[in-house]
Structure 1
């Protein structure tokens, strides 16, 4: 698949980049995508939730009433989960939600996500660029020139560029990342991928590793 390379101002450079069939042309594996996205979202969870059980509630341990003869159920403590203000039964406890996935499966998931974007023709290739200083207006101008200003975008650079990152971080529905930090969730979450010209080769090298 050949994609035309344009400048960040939207001008055609006359060059084309060939997207590897081994990555952008594979048959997507939906289950691999599901597992990788599930792991990503699980890793975002802090797991610090906690509720007090009856042993942790502050209150009197005095028996509320006599055991028999009241006509109601027996009750031994105000801290019982049956009463208002009592402890919670089987409440949440701090835990780690992360789980392990094999590298090859995660690699397949990223390839599948990129293949979906290539299939839908939602990939733009931009000539390598940089801003002299952080300028949000310049970043917005770039999105407008690529006709993606009204869409959720993910810009992938070959290596981190502080001026570009700072220019795009305050724009809603826009994210900047690097090829080595590319993940399945971000690819699928974006409507359009904007790949810098040098990042294409880096993605190829990273995802072709055995």
Structure 2
């Protein structure tokens, strides 16, 4: 699919290139984006052997064993279940041809070499990943506080004595309130779609 003509057009080498939005349909990663669920690509880095596709919902990594092999392993890392952390950007020295963006998603470390001519675009990606990392960290703390608050409330209510003998009704009401509290907290603090972050920081 991604033949020599497309490779020449995009200027690919062993060092990654940032692909422009108008060329997203020329890369293999686009076939694995869940367009049916309104998933869209916001940033894409491609070398001869690998593709790193950042969508609003996940990082899609097409891992090639080598530039000459057609075999690929597809990995998908959802931001909702794989926290982004340890985001770093290594700029190029005087004689270097590439820059390097590093991060962890879940427990998987990434170190992506990109041609230094793309430094401005990679700076935008760096900002977006930093923001997602900070938001995820803050939301984890808020969700933990919400759970602790519910536990305290439940313990307190459990100590209240009641003259009402209908314990089944009380249990159902308390259980329903606890479930609703957890659901609302999850919706508020568990973000799955980070398109708004990419739209703010990515300047294609």
The TM-score range, normalised by the shorter chain, is under 0.3
Structure whose residues are more often strand by fraction: 2
Whichever of the two has the greater Rg, that structure is: 1
Structure whose residues are more often helix by fraction: 2
Report the TM-score, using the length of structure 2 for normalisation. Answer: 0.21
